[in-house]
Amino acid sequence: MRMGVRSRGERHNEMQKYEETEHRRAQRGRPKEKLERMLTGFIWLSHHLGLAGLKSWIPSILLLVFLVLSTWILIYGLTCVQRYRINCKRLRCFPQPPLKNWLLGHLGLIQNSEEGLLYKQSLVYSFRDVCCWWVGAWCPVIRIFHPNYIKPVLLASGTVIPKDKLFYNFLEPWLGEGLLLSEGEKWRRHRHMLTPAFHFDILKPYVKIFNQSVDIMHAKWRRLCAEGTNYLEMFEHISLMTLDSLQKCIFSYNSNCQEKPSAYISAILELSSLVAKRHNNPLLYWDTLYNLTSQGRRFSRACHLVHDFSNAVIQERRHILAQQGTEAFLGNKRKSKTIDFIDILLLAKDEDGKALSDKDIQAEADTFMFAGHDTTASGISWALYNLAQHQEYQDRCRQEIKELLGDRQPEEIEWDDLVQMPFLTMCIKESLRLHSPVSMVSRYCTKDIQLPDGRIIPKGNICLISIFGIHHNPAVWPKPEVYDPHRFDTNNPEKISPLAFIPFSVGSRNCIGQNFALSELKVVLALTLLRFRVLPDKHPVRRKPEIILREENGLRLKVEPLLDLSSPDMHLSETSQE
């Protein structure tokens, strides 16, 4: 090759470098080109609007817009800082525990664990009534754990505001705007329309459904005991049983979920689990990021499955209602002696005669399924745990139920029996106090709230009503960690404040289904104690407050069948074995 003559490859490389250089220049010039195009467009527009004289003023106008926007941002920021300083000054009257650090505030000091509950208990012992809790550096929360201090919060007009949106927003894709998440006029309208669904006349037929569902669970327990499996995880069995009952009461649908897998029931359980996991991981609070994760995709699929099921039932029932007419439809329901939740929602009308939309009906049905299964399962499981720890109370409950039923066959709890089990009721209430399924609720203050001692919770702050704190406050309940059903004896001279016992919350946004839940609790516990002796597991219990109060490793109890060949669950067991 001759010197001074470039090869073809060298020429190609130089050409490539030249093109890359020109491309970079073009890229650098694009912002300038965009600005020129914007100015050209502005000039053209001003010319056609007769504002051609403004051409020389364009840079000044743009600068003015920039200055106005910057000033507004600065003023808004300074206003927020000033409001924050004023709020902090007004909150100085509330004591607070030592911060973790200035940035996180108290975040991370309370975990969803046994140690976290013990720390909450120490707060109650230290402050007794109220304290300030910082969620990060900017968000103060007033924690209340004395009944005298929650009264002004709940009774103040204008405070019926949804609960903590940070957590409850996780539920919105699943539950929609049902009673749990709706607010304002929509919440008031729905609450008024749904109240008849929980009237005693509607609840009476449900007692038979509770009996049937618990019979199925007990037949399964007897089979497991016969196979040598006496230690059972209570939440696993009781959650399926409560879901079985709810599906029958809401949709009049029997999925036989206690005996075989059900896609709908599996989706409900998965959604509850995914919401709890998300709540425990702040990195997943952002919806866009969560939807990209495998958990987010599973959540979306489960939501679609649940919505498809409830929507199919609603459309089918609407079709039947349209064919039969309201009077004939109600007549057929009276003959069957059971009207389910969907029927009531379809027939409900507000003061103006307007009915609920299909979307509203679906939201309320899904909300009832969510709120009704986990909380009731938790209440039943912890009640059995407490009675297993105290055999003398268990024996007394069993004797009370035997005397009530006498020689009744089949063994079945009836509606009128529910008010004739005073000691069992006392045991249930004490269990709900000691192990409340829901540990707290929150409210947003839309106005200043004055507490009994004169201190004021400023408008715009969140109040956290600690159900756990109130139920474990030694100033309210002597020896609060002791399980003592006699606290709820009607003859007890120490009268209990209505606000000292709030397992179903309190005020206008309390649990609308509490009578439904208490009825199921009584039926399940009465029949369980009649047919089984429940004994504690040897391993110590570690509580875990998530959406509801669970046990860290599952609440295992030993069950021993009490020989009674006449009981219906024995017949169910024999039939299933054949």
Binding-site residues sit at 511
Pairing, β 139-144 against β 231-233: unpaired
d(CA 524, CA 215): 9
d(CA 154, CA 443): 8
b/e map 489-519, b = 16+ CB within 10 Å: eeeeeeeeeebbbbbbbbbebebbbebbbbb
Cis peptide, bond prior to residue 410, ω within 30 of zero: yes
Residue with structure tokens 């001074």?
4
Burial of 563 (0-12, 13-18, 19+ CB in 10 A): exposed
Category of 435 on φ-ψ map: left (φ > 0), alpha (ψ -120 to 50) or beta: beta
Residue 232 has which token pair? 């059972």
Q: Which amino acid is at 46?
A: S
Contact 130, 145 (CB under 8 A): yes
d(CA 12, CA 384): 84
Contact 523, 544 (CB under 8 A): no
Burial of 39 (0-12, 13-18, 19+ CB in 10 A): middle
The binding site for heme consists of: 511
Query: In Å, what is the CA distance from 418 to each residue of 27, 382, 522, 568?
Result: 79, 20, 7, 20
Residue 513 is classified by DSSP as: T
